[in-house]
Chain A
Amino acid sequence: MHVTALAFAATAGGFLLVLAIVLPVAGILLSLVLGGRHAERIALVLMPAGVGVAIAIAVLLWRSGKPLVYGLGGLPPPLGIALRADGFSAVMLVTAAMVISAAGFFARANFGTPQGVTEARAPLAFWILLQAVWAALNIVFLGGDLFNLYVALELLTFAAVPLVCLDGRPETLAAALRYLLFALFGSVFYLLGAALLYGAYGTLDIVLLAARIHAEPAVWVAAGLMTAGLLAKTALFPLHLWLPPAHANAPAAGSAVLSALVVKASFFLIVRLWFNVLPTLPHETASAILAALGSAAILFGGVLALRQERLKLLIAYSTVAQIGYLFLMFPLAAGAHPWAADAWSGGLLQTLSHAFAKAAMFLAAGLIAESLGHDRIADLRGVGPAMPMTVFAFGLGGLSLMGLPPSSGFAAKWLLLKASVEAGQWPWAVVMLAGGLLAGGYIYRVLAPALSSEGVHLKAPPQRNREGVALVLALVAVLLGFAPPAFFEFLQIGRVAPIGGLP
């Protein structure tokens, strides 16, 4: 079949894809054996290298204009496994590398091995788990085989769950257990769907499946099961119960990585499933359901965020709401309509902007909780003048969530808004505006007392460089809004033109 030959010519830069995976995995193994302070040093050395590899992949992809492919074991699929990098995965690789590096540099103060101790539990576990989250994310973004993606999802779950209960308090253990049960339910149903697809078509490679799939009951049941499983892991509205306690209880750097990246991995697979594996399937009903759930998430998450008294829980519920925006892309970006490209770029940009903005907000909230000793919103009076950089970073992140002009959040929501108006599906537009208002509401609820001029007693003034990390992330969230049109063409690389068209 011409598709096989075309799609699997191992491109030149293929080995970069392998490097992006080998670095963090080797880091995990070395950190466990060397242990103690070495774990932290290994992580802090590998992270900038990882950012470099991710950027190199993006540049190579930009120059070649076609997805990078690398067949593992010298075997092309269907027998072997292929790694594929297209526009969406390259952008997510760079985002993951940057956010994890920022979280790593932020967490040096919390998870440094104390003096006089060769090795302590929390630091060693944190640095190994951080590299494991990063390895799993890279594999999810590059994987080309559905079973390989299942193992990567499990690796991600085993890295993220212990992060939630790293400080061992009872409520964090309950939150981690609920998160683990939801995640296991999700991955076993994903595997069930993959089994049905293998039973029907004899391969699990994404490109080969896309060529062979046609609408039949087995494919509908498989798609339904896989989507349900991945929705449980993405914490979309009806299945979001585990997210707020889990993300609010994790340490600051941990919750930044969890909210910004871990939740996006399963969303990435839903996009991979509906846009790369099942493009030939009529998707109207499925996309409408996903978008309806997304809208419910926006409204429900926003209202609940308004009613929280703790800062970290407010941000966690805001994650539930912002995830809803991502699913509005499904009814708009599918199909060969003129607005589909805008909706696709809007959805992807929302993923990126939420990653950077939410990471900045969680790091800022961590700094506030450390300095004040608590994170009750009611008692945040006067924290603004006391910690200007932190609250400014929090505000910039909030800007992106609300979708106000200078931020990338605005650009993403504007693209989705424009696409929904052109498509005539105005309910999504109304929901987005309502979501923006709700976001404005809960950001104002935090900033109003924070910026009041009363003096506040800080237990420990925050370190300058840690505030800088949060600020850099928030600035990136804003700068992405000024991305040139070439950036949006880059996002289109590897996007399967729907209804039977292949790249």
Chain B
Amino acid sequence: MSAPTLAGLIGAALVGLGLYGLITNPQPLRKILAFNLIGSGVFLLFGIIARKGAAAGFVADPVPQAMVITGIVVAFSASALAIALVLRLFQETGRVTLRPDASAGPPANGADT
């Protein structure tokens, strides 16, 4: 049970757990949390591939590790945009729900630019 194999199992479990949270939890904030969980599971996967790819004097393959750093920053900006949307939705409607209300389209009377 070397560290990479263990981390691989954790990564797979995190992806499954995050997917469950993303599907079943109705609250958008919890869905964003679940999305971050899946993201960290995927990055763990890159991590063990890097560790198993240790060669040429490096303790790990630098290319997937660089991808993980880029991935973490992109995942953060995704969470930032999603959180800003949730807060604005809460500010506008007082509720935070993804359920489309009756008129999912533009209002019947307002001119739509």
Contacts and interface: CB of A to CB of B under 8 A. Distances in A.
Given A173-B89, A185-B22, A151 B49 contact: no
B101 A373 contact: no
Interface string A454-494: 00000100000000000000000000000000000000000
A332 interface: no
Interface string B7-50: 00000000100000010000010011001001100100110010
A452 B38 CA distance: 54
A449 B63 CA distance: 60
Contacts of B105: 171, 245, 248-249, 308, 310, 312-313, 375
Interface in B49-100: 49, 52-53, 63-64, 67, 70-71, 74-75, 77-78, 81-82, 85-86, 88-89, 92-93, 97-100
Where chain B touches its partner, the secondary structure class is helix
Nearest to A109: B113
A33 to B, nearest CB: 19
Interface residues of B, number: 47
A195 interface: yes
Contacts, number: 135
B6 interface: no
A375 B110 CA distance: 10
Contact of B85 (A154, A157, A177, A191): A177
A154 B89 contact: no
B35 A249 contact: no
A313 B103 CA distance: 10
B3 interface: no
A165 B45 contact: no
Contacts of A375: 105-106, 112
Interface residues of A, number: 52
A414 to B, nearest CB: 33
Given A176-B85, A181-B31, A375-B112, A196 B45 contact: yes
A34 interface: no
B113 A192 contact: no
A171 B104 contact: yes
A178 B98 contact: yes
Interface string A170-207: 11011111101100110010011001101100100000
A180 B89 CA distance: 13
B111 interface: yes
Given A181-B82, A459-B111, A249 B106 contact: yes
Contacts of B32: 181
A79 interface: yes
A341 interface: no
A216 to B, nearest CB: 16
A373 B98 CA distance: 27
Interface in A231-272: 244-245, 248-249, 251-252
Contacts of B63: 79
A147 B67 contact: yes
B19 to A, nearest CB: 8
Contacts of A2: none
Contacts of B82: 177, 180-181, 184
B62 to A, nearest CB: 10
Identify the interface centre among A178, A199, A244: most chain B CB within 10 Å of its CB.
A199
Nearest to B102: A171
Contact of B101 (A154, A171, A310): A171
Interface in A128-185: 147, 150-151, 154, 157-158, 161-162, 165, 167-171, 173-178, 180-181, 184-185
Given A195-B45, A376-B108, A459-B111, 6 more contacts: A170-B93, A175-B104, A180-B82, A181-B31, A251-B112, A374-B108
Interface of B: 15, 22, 28, 31-32, 35, 38-39, 42, 45-46, 49, 52-53, 63-64, 67, 70-71, 74-75, 77-78, 81-82, 85-86, 88-89, 92-93, 97-101, 103-113
7 tightest Cβ-Cβ pairs between the two chains A and B: A310-B105, A199-B49, A369-B112, A245-B104, A173-B89, A313-B105, A170-B92
8 contacts: A167-B113, A173-B89, A176-B85, A188-B35, A202-B53, A245-B105, A366-B112, A373-B109
